[in-house]
Amino acid sequence: MREAERIARAILLWAGISGAVGVVLGSFGAHGLDAFLLERGYDADLVIKRVGQWDVGVRYQLIHSVALFALAAVPFGSDANRRWVARLMLAGLLFFSGSLYLLVLTNLTILGAVAPLGGLSWIIAWLLLTRMAVT
């Protein structure tokens, strides 16, 4: 198997995992998160805020899962650049969406400070992706 194909398969695997997890978390957010948070003593206003934060995490996770899927299908660009785009997108998923999920579940507001690292990872990934189009 060629290196480019191996990389594409790995990226596709991560896209599929991330997409499936995003759908599961989105479903939980739509059908059980509010009750879960109320049972833990969150007041109604905080539940509304946290559900919104959860939704943002899921939305960005699913968008970047699709971006990973597309990255796996791009037929040009260097293997090294493709690997870095994938790594940075996955880091963004972990730091941005992951920190929002943990913030919602634990109410540790300090976790909100982690999300910008994920956003920065995604910005760099998107810029590296544009590099694939011009080189």
Picking from 124, 120, 100, the residue whose alpha carbon sits closest to that of residue 112 is 100
Quote the pTM value. Answer: 0.95
Instruction: Tell which phi-psi region holds residue 43, choosing left (phi > 0), alpha (psi between -120 and 50) or beta.
Output: beta
Contact indicator for 92, 64 with CB cutoff of 8 Å: yes
pLDDT tens profile 61-97: 999 999 999 999 998 999 999 999 999 999 999 999 9
Mean pLDDT estimate for the chain: 96
Contact indicator for 86, 71 with CB cutoff of 8 Å: yes
